[in-house]
Structure 1
Amino acid sequence: MKKIPIEKIKEIFSKKNILSSYLLVEKEMALAQSELKIIPKKSAIEISKKCNIKYFNLKFFEKDLKKTKAPIVSLVNFIVKLCSEESKKYVHYGATTQNITQAGSALLMRKSHIQAMYRMSDCLKTLSKLSFKFSNQPMIARTNGQHGMPMTFGFKISEWTEEILRFEERFEEIEKRLFILVFGGAVGAMHSFKNKGESLYKNLADRLNLQRVEVPSRVIIDNIAEYTFLCSHLAAALSNIGRELNFYMRDEIQEISENLPEGTVGSSTMPQKINPKYVYTFVALAEDLASYTSRGNAMMSIQNEGDLAMNQFQKQTIQEIFPKLNILLEEFNNLLNVIRINRKKMNDNLEITKGLINSENIVMSIAPILGKQKAYKILHEIVDEVRLKNKNYQEALNSNKDIKKILSRKKIIELTDSKKNIGNSRKVSLKMSKIAEHRSSKLCSRLNKINQVTK
């Protein structure tokens, strides 16, 4: 299973796929039980063959479900109907509803998670290209909304890239807690399987390629809550990136725009307006998923050894957040691919302060001789004078008695060149570009290996 089209992501949690996942668990459970001589091998083989969605009659299932009000009971009733008199005695042998639904859910979550991580790999690849392409494109770095110092747009991309890389690490690290098999019978203590419970648990977990826990309690829900928090956390970070991009799209800044098709309309009453489209859609999606933090907290209120209300709430949350995570990452990559960089405006905006943004460069060039505090005081006074009296910054520097003893006119021109005063921006951009490209490729390879061994 490679990356599937985004329009088919929601189908992972379709009714058909959910039932298929339950049937797969019933099938593997029967085969595992036969290996341990809990049920006859002949019956296990027959049950495993009948646990196939191609034999499934949805009308029968829904009719029976109206009567039982219990999906797994109706599912079992259908399997029983297909089996021989001898084999039907061993269908769903010793298991409880949650054993099947939680295992099936884990399998579908893994499929959707893998798809999301393929999309994260795509995002890293795009960020890598942007970081490289604009590694040497100067722009203004702003602190507290004010012009600070020059940097490059590649450096800005690198900031976002490293943040996404940390999220990629978090998503990989959570897999061992998320993709677990919770299988222990009625309340988790293996009552039905007696001394073969542990062996059955290990066998079935291996068959489904799911992790085991020490206490397979039906009320394990903190891992789903944790994943919900993580999705929400990522969405909040992506929303911030979207808003940052939108900031650069303002009329008074114009450093970035969207590559919109001809004929795009911004307002029904203001003809001159061409509003950003992609970024607002993206931020709306991000804010929606970011709001799921409260869902994660709410699902932790689970009672005793079984709580149907929280089970249903958990199921609903799972079926919402996993597709939304995929869609959000898809849209993030789309947004990164439609932004258009206005190099001229980035260069022009660097000169708004007429060189003042390079003041720290002057301070640190004279500090070894005068000391940092004195150097800072001198520059602060010069900057105030330039602003109040509308003086030329370079001339003000050249006329200062302390500075001209240390720096030549040529050196001052060099130190106040905003396009060159970018620090390690280019070096960092190129480094992060390589790291992101490598991590994107590594992530893809890891996902491909998981696909080879998963059900």
Structure 2
Amino acid sequence: MSPRRFEMLVDLYGDEPTARLLSEEAMVGSWLRVEAALATAQGELGVLETADARAIADAAVPANIDHERLWKETRTVGYPILSLVRQIDAALPAAHRGRVHYGATTQDIMDSGLALQLDQAAVRLGELLAQFGDSLAALAAEHVETVIAGRTHALQAVPTTFGAKLATYVGELARHRDRLAAARARVAVVSLFGAGGTSAAYGDRAVALRARVAQLLGLHTTDVPWHVARDGLAEFGLLCALLAGTCARFAREIVDLSRTEIAEVGEASGHHRGASSTMPQKVNPIESEAVIGLSATTGALSSALFRVMEAGHARAAGEWQAEWQVLPQLVCLSAAALRTCVSIADGLRVFPEAMRANLRADGGLVMAEAYMMRLADPLGRERAHDVVYEAVGRCRETGESLFTALRQGLPTEVAATIEELRAESYLGRPHETVDAALALWRTET
């Protein structure tokens, strides 16, 4: 094999357990497990002699596979299973040879092996998702009353709380958890349908054989071939991109709130953490930047899955190979994004004083809607909107507070009824929002 290309982003921020699940050793090991399960099931059903089946299962182990030979011969054949089968067969006693891979086709073994790998990867993604959700849920509960400016179009809009802001992420992750469970069930499916998807080579016991192999491997069975029906795999890959997308939304929030002019949160501190090579004052949000980069890559890669789904007839002609490259990368990138977000959330520094100070920026105009709603009863909503709009303009011209400018433009009898509003008086129902998100997160799938 040629030297491995160093992938700096994933190698720096990747998840080692996920990398192991999708390693060369794990992939070849999954194929061996499928060949062993196939032989075992055929022995039980009388397709093979029991002694032959047992011997094949014993020989289908990593120690009998020369990886250098495997990949050299794969380059010639185009697919690795012929070499794998020949090496298993060569490890058998002479009396048991010629029965390995009986009735199977290459894609049966590779797809079933991939199902094993993705099933395990789904478990790991679920663990990382749970860690991220738990961390955000704890932050949301802690900061349910921490007042912050809600922002729309990057500008201050109305007051909210930091906990209520984080609750939206908790709800999103809860939905992803449901999606992951569903996608895992659809991807962890055995594939044993023979050369053209007809199961003809498996004979009359094809259905029973497929079900038993699935049982031995801990996979689901199906009687509908999926050699070219890649929607389940595409769904799983797209879910990885969705997970990374949510991670990027969180990371972008941290980047924006960390800006010098805002400074409401910060990533964990440490000696030279986020340091610049030339500007001593810099503390860059390095983990958030990494997550955004990871997510951007998943978005680009995931588009290839739609091309994979174009495979025609009973076997792909190139689309399958794209899948080999894209799916493992998507899983690893998604796991890296989740893992890094756990680190960000666990180390997040929150600055309530800065949040409160920023509410006073621009003369407290963040309370404009609150004043409009307060005036809607005596003036009517449209008139109240215009009055507050004009007051906002005066604030920006003179620098006076919204409350002061507003009273000047109101009829005396109305002005006398208006008191200066505080952000805490116009937060909606943050406790209900956070409680709902936490209840959704704690619900078992």
Alignment map for 1:387-406 (pairs within 5 Å): 387-398=396-407, 402=411, 404-405=413-414
Deviation at 1:434, TM superposition (A): 4.3
Alignment map for 1:82-161 (pairs within 5 Å): 82-161=91-170
Quote the Cα distance in structure 2 between the aligned partners of 1:102 and 1:407: 75
Please say if residues 111 and 190 of structure 2, whose CA atoms lie closer than 8 Å, have aligned partners that are also in contact: yes
Deviation at 1:130, TM superposition (A): 0.7
Q: Aligned with 1:90: secondary structure? A: coil
Count of residue pairs brought into register by the alignment: 432
Aligned partner of 1:433 in structure 2 is 438
Alignment map for 1:259-298 (pairs within 5 Å): 259-264=268-273, 266-298=275-307
Quote the Cα distance in structure 1 between the aligned partners of 2:71 and 2:183: 36
Aligned partner of 1:450 in structure 2 is none
Establish whether residue 71 from structure 1 lines up as the match of residue 80 from structure 2.
yes
Aligned partner of 2:355 in structure 1 is 346
Quote the Cα distance in structure 1 between the aligned partners of 2:69 and 2:387: 86
| Paired letter, 1:279 | S
Q: Which residue, out of 349, 363, 367, partners 1:358?
A: 367
Quote the Cα distance in structure 2 between the aligned partners of 1:356 and 1:383: 7
Quote the Cα distance in structure 2 between the aligned partners of 1:234 and 1:431: 21
TM-score (norm 2): 0.88
Establish whether residue 40 from structure 1 lines up as the match of residue 49 from structure 2.
yes
Q: Aligned with 1:273: secondary structure? A: coil
Quote the Cα distance in structure 1 between the aligned partners of 2:161 and 2:226: 53
Establish whether residue 164 from structure 1 lines up as the match of residue 180 from structure 2.
no
Q: Which residue, out of 257, 262, 269, partners 1:253?
A: 262
Q: Which residue, out of 304, 315, 320, partners 2:313?
A: 304
Quote the Cα distance in structure 2 between the aligned partners of 1:112 and 1:182: 18
Establish whether residue 222 from structure 1 lines up as the match of residue 227 from structure 2.
no
> Relative to structure 1, is the Cα distance of residues 66 and 361 closer, same or farther in structure 2, using a 3 angstrom cutoff?
closer
Q: What are structure 1's unaligned runs of at least 5 residues?
A: 444-455
Please say if residues 294 and 334 of structure 2, whose CA atoms lie closer than 8 Å, have aligned partners that are also in contact: no
Deviation at 1:334, TM superposition (A): 1.0
Quote the Cα distance in structure 2 between the aligned partners of 1:266 and 1:251: 15
| Paired letter, 2:385 | Y
Quote the Cα distance in structure 2 between the aligned partners of 1:8 and 1:229: 21
Identity over aligned residues, as a percent? 24
Q: What are structure 2's unaligned runs of at least 5 residues?
A: 1-13
Please say if residues 185 and 220 of structure 2, whose CA atoms lie closer than 8 Å, have aligned partners that are also in contact: yes
> Relative to structure 1, is the Cα distance of residues 386 and 306 closer, same or farther in structure 2, using a 3 angstrom cutoff?
closer
Quote the Cα distance in structure 2 between the aligned partners of 1:208 and 1:220: 21
| Paired letter, 1:429 | V
Q: Aligned with 1:148: secondary structure? A: strand
Deviation at 1:397, TM superposition (A): 4.6
Quote the Cα distance in structure 2 between the aligned partners of 1:341 and 1:221: 44
The structure showing larger relative contact order (alpha-carbon pairs under 8 Å, at least 6 residues apart) is: 1
After superposition, the C-alpha distances for 1:290-338 in whole angstroms (9 at most, x for unaligned) are 2112221222232332235333221222222222221111011112222
Q: Which residue, out of 346, 349, 352, partners 1:337?
A: 346
Please say if residues 41 and 209 of structure 2, whose CA atoms lie closer than 8 Å, have aligned partners that are also in contact: yes
Q: Aligned with 1:154: secondary structure? A: helix
Quote the Cα distance in structure 1 between the aligned partners of 2:350 and 2:315: 55
Quote the Cα distance in structure 2 between the aligned partners of 1:11 and 1:405: 70
Establish whether residue 184 from structure 1 lines up as the match of residue 193 from structure 2.
yes
Q: Which residue, out of 405, 418, 422, partners 2:423?
A: 418
Quote the Cα distance in structure 1 between the aligned partners of 2:440 and 2:142: 15
Quote the Cα distance in structure 2 between the aligned partners of 1:119 and 1:248: 24
> Relative to structure 1, is the Cα distance of residues 63 and 397 closer, same or farther in structure 2, using a 3 angstrom cutoff?
closer
Instruction: Tell me which moved more, 356-365 or 64-73.
Output: 64-73
Quote the Cα distance in structure 1 between the aligned partners of 2:60 and 2:213: 16
Aligned partner of 1:200 in structure 2 is 209
After superposition, the C-alpha distances for 1:206-259 in whole angstroms (9 at most, x for unaligned) are 222322334214222222222222222332332232122111111111111222
Establish whether residue 381 from structure 1 lines up as the match of residue 390 from structure 2.
yes
